[in-house]
Amino acid sequence: MSRMFGFLSILIVVATGAFIYSRQAQNVTPAGTANPLARVETTAIKKDLLNIAQAERSHNALHGGYTSLDGLRSAGELSLAVDNRGPYNYSADVSDSSFHIVATYTGSDPAMPKSISIDQTMQISQE
């Protein structure tokens, strides 16, 4: 009888652990998709945007204004060689006092954010 009780106790603990694990796995993936690759790709895009924004801020501190992505590359302040990562294309709208960098999604997955952007306040937003 005690063996049966011990076995049932272990079975209940394992089932509870599996339930908690599955709930946590759902919270990690972006809303609307169960694709973990989407989460990785979105994180990489945000990292690129932060790097570009930091390069813009550095350029502003040294030269007194913001510049295009090509201007950042030619000044040696941006090591990002291309204006895209996977299905996202980068663009920059700059003025003397502000910048707005946008990563626009060109792929076919409806669950992916259509655009992710950052501005001079270093706040990332996505749509």
pLDDT of residue 27: 60
Residues 23 and 40 in one domain: no
Query: What are the C-alpha distances in Å from 84 to residues 4, 11, 46, 123?
Result: 60, 49, 12, 20
DSSP of 87-115, one letter per residue? TEEEEEEE-SS-EEEEEEE-SS-TTS-SE
Residues 26 and 40 in one domain: no
> E strands, the chain, where?
84-85, 88-94, 99-105, 115-119, 124-126
pLDDT of residue 55: 95
Domain range holding 18? Answer: 1-30
Residues 51 and 80 in one domain: yes
Answer for the pair 111, 30: CB distance below 8 angstroms, yes or no. yes
Task: Assign residue 118 the CATH number of its domain.
Answer: 3.30.1300
Residues 26 and 44 in one domain: no
pLDDT of residue 39: 81
100: alpha, beta or left, given left = phi > 0 and alpha = psi -120 to 50? beta
Q: How many domains does the structure of the chain reveal?
A: 2
Residues 48 and 79 in one domain: yes
Residues 71 and 44 in one domain: yes
Q: Which pLDDT tens digit goes with each residue over 28-80?
A: 555 555 677 788 889 999 999 999 999 999 999 999 999 999 999 999 999 98
Q: Which pLDDT tens digit goes with each residue over 90-100?
A: 999 999 899 99
Best CA proximity match to 100, nearest among 85, 114, 90, 89: 90
Residues 25 and 40 in one domain: no
Residues 41 and 76 in one domain: yes
Per the listing, tokens 């040696």 go with 76
54 vs 2, more confident: 54
